Structure 1
Amino acid sequence: MKGRTIVLDHIQGREAAALMVDGKLDDFLIEADAPAPGTIYRARADRPMKGQGGMFLTTPDGPAFLRQVKGLAPGALLLVQVSGYAEPGKAIPVTNRILFKSRYAIVTPDAPGLNISRSIKDDNTRDRLIEIAHAQMDGSAYGLILRSCCASADDDEIAEDISAMLAQAEQVMGDAGTEPELLSEGDGPHLLAWRDWTDPADVETKAGGFETHGVLDALDVARGIAEPLPGAGTLYIEPTRALVAVDVNTGADTSLAAGTKANFACAKRLPRALRLRGLAGQITLDLAPMPKKDRRGFEAALKAAFRSDPDETTLAGWTPLGHFELHRKRGRAPLAEILK
């Protein structure tokens, strides 16, 4: 099946959303038990973490950890936003740089100014959008970023989105409570799908859509450790307590170029494989044998593959043993921990 389809459904009683591209599962979002990224708390500073430049905070959902604090005294109240998912047993990661993000607009209370996505190149479109931004943000000290999907959106929809995000920001930022409190919940999978999967797509909302479109079969593969590569190769992806280990296997291909072909196929498939499994943190690739002269090309292919991935990934480079390391932001909960 050609084209893009967004399927909104539930699985094991949890809200979930799937993005199918040309009949294959390209992305999957599912409700987790932990607070969703984007959740905003009024928190109380608890105790500093010496040597790490951070502070433990008290929130209604348990302890949180804020990095790079300066001048924050224990007992002080502050607004923080959940920035990702914590490893089991660790505090909720939060940031004090609050963002109010929707499909078209991002309101930035701590960063004034009106900005338009750099991917929008047309001068007439940029002029049209800046007029809408000025009209909706008139008199506000908050900043605004208009996202790339505004280029093809209706003016009234953009204006309505800006107005809604600005009203939410003013309500949350102006809250004058004196105790730790949940002020705004992060977006669920269905809302995230509308917010972030902005390319044109058919939308399926009928119950049972996951089975109809082959999502459940794709999830069975994603819940395992093996990810097939084009040809005879296979990726084996195994999370441990310390890191995620990825082994590239050439399978039955015994040609001289088998290792190079499998490694370049890995570079192309790895972002999707990690995304569907919700895996992040330290990731080590045990690649198939290939000449050192092909390493630069492999790095370029890996960088290109991660460029369009929604979760921030840092390519750390090669180890003395010939492994390749990268670090990925924990923007999702591991699929294996949610679907059991």
Structure 2
Amino acid sequence: MKGRTIALDHLNGVEAAALMVDGRLQDLLVDTDLPRPGTLYRAIAMRPMKGQGGMFLNSPDGPCYLRQIKGLSPGQPLLVQVTGYAESGKAIPVTNRVLFKSRYAIVTPEAPGINISRSIRDEEVRVSLLEIAHEVMTGEAGLILRSSCAGADPDEIAEDIGAMATLAAQVMADASGEAETLVEGDGPHALAWRDWTDPAEVITESGCFEHGGVLDAIEALRGAHVPLGEGSMYIEPTRALIAVDVNTGGDTSPAAGLKANMGAVRELPRQLRLRGLGGQITIDLAPTPKKDRRQIETALRAAIKADQVETTLVGWTPMGNLELQRKRDRIPLSEVLK
């Protein structure tokens, strides 16, 4: 099936959203019972972590961990925002640089100024967006207009800016008191509306995952094996890292190795995104000459750039493995499907 489709349904009884492009699953969001990224707390500082430059905070959902603690003392209330999912047995990661993000606008209370996405290059459009922003925004909070503003209805943009600015003002004025959840993070359906902004057919009927091929695509993600056309790879999480093994199959020539490696690095960000995997990632590539490493890196950087999850290419190990560090902003699909 050609084109983009957004399916809003439920998976194992919880809210879920799937993005299909030309009949292929490109993204999958599944809700959990854990605090969602984007949730805003009024938290209470507890104790610093000596030698690590961070501090534990108390929140309604349990202990949080904040890295930036300059000028912070135990017992002090402060506003923080969940940045990702905590690893098992660890505190919820938070930041005190809170953002209020919607489909068209991101309000930045601690960073004044109005900025427009660099992907919007039409000068007339940029001027028009600035006029809307200056008309709606009041106070000292900053504003970022997202790329989705291009071609959007001006009234919808203005309404979105106003809603986020009002919410930001209300929350920032509520910094004193006991630990409390001030704003819940967006669920899968809201995130799909917020972040999947390219034109698409939206399907909301119950059971659309089954009829649209989403369940079949999810079932394929249960296994470690990923066919690449030219070779294959296996993606296997361990306690310490995510191990990726690239294979060429029967053809062991240098050309076959390069084809398998190129296919693997182009496909890997999509596979990690769909599987909800992050942290340290080690790629055991198929045998390939050192002279091909730059070509492999270039392809991997391009694939990472097109992905929304923050990922850093760390480099090559002495044994020729390629290492990545990827933000844990999702729960592993294997845990969701239990």
Question: TM-score normalised by the shorter chain: which range applies?
Answer: over 0.9
Deviations 1:230-281 (A, max 9, x none): 23x1111111111100000112334441111100001110000000000000
Name the CA distance, whole Å, in 2 between partners of 1:226 and 1:180: 45
Aligned to 1:217: 216
Count of residue correspondences: 338
Q: 2:76 aligned with 1:83, yes or no?
A: no
Q: Any conservation in 1 of the 2:79–2:175 contact (CA below 8 Å)?
A: no
- The share of aligned pairs that are identical, in percent, is 69
Aligned to 1:189: 188
Name the CA distance, whole Å, in 2 between partners of 1:274 and 1:2: 24
Q: Which amino acid aligns with 1:179?
A: E
Q: Any conservation in 1 of the 2:304–2:311 contact (CA below 8 Å)?
A: yes
Aligned to 2:325: 327
Matches for 1:15-26 after TM superposition, within 5 Å: 15-26=15-26
Q: 2:23 aligned with 1:33, yes or no?
A: no
Name the CA distance, whole Å, in 1 between partners of 2:156 and 2:191: 17
Aligned to 1:207: 206
- Normalising to structure 1: TM-score of the pair? 0.98
Note the residue ranges of structure 1 that are not aligned, 5 or more in a row: none
Deviations 1:171-223 (A, max 9, x none): 11111541000000000000000000011111010011001111111111112
- Normalising to structure 2: TM-score of the pair? 0.98
Name the CA distance, whole Å, in 1 between partners of 2:190 and 2:72: 34
Name the CA distance, whole Å, in 2 between partners of 1:176 and 1:91: 21
Name the CA distance, whole Å, in 1 between partners of 2:263 and 2:213: 23
Aligned to 2:273: 275
Aligned to 1:295: 293
Matches for 1:249-264 after TM superposition, within 5 Å: 249-264=247-262
What is the DSSP-based 3-state SS (H/G/I as helix, E as strand, rest coil) of the residue aligned with 2:223? coil
Aligned to 2:58: 58
Deviations 1:277-296 (A, max 9, x none): 00000000000000110000
Name the CA distance, whole Å, in 2 between partners of 1:243 and 1:51: 24
Matches for 1:108-123 after TM superposition, within 5 Å: 108-123=108-123
Name the CA distance, whole Å, in 2 between partners of 1:302 and 1:200: 27
- Runs of 4+ with >6 A deviation: none
Aligned to 1:100: 100
Alpha-carbon deviation of 1:31? 0.0
Aligned to 1:244: 242
What is the DSSP-based 3-state SS (H/G/I as helix, E as strand, rest coil) of the residue aligned with 1:263? helix
Deviations 1:64-113 (A, max 9, x none): 00013111111110000000111111000000000000000000000001
Deviations 1:141-170 (A, max 9, x none): 110000011011000000000011111111
Note the residue ranges of structure 2 that are not aligned, 5 or more in a row: none
Q: Any conservation in 1 of the 2:42–2:175 contact (CA below 8 Å)?
A: no
Name the CA distance, whole Å, in 2 between partners of 1:207 and 1:309: 29
Name the CA distance, whole Å, in 1 between partners of 2:71 and 2:282: 37
What is the DSSP-based 3-state SS (H/G/I as helix, E as strand, rest coil) of the residue aligned with 2:32? coil
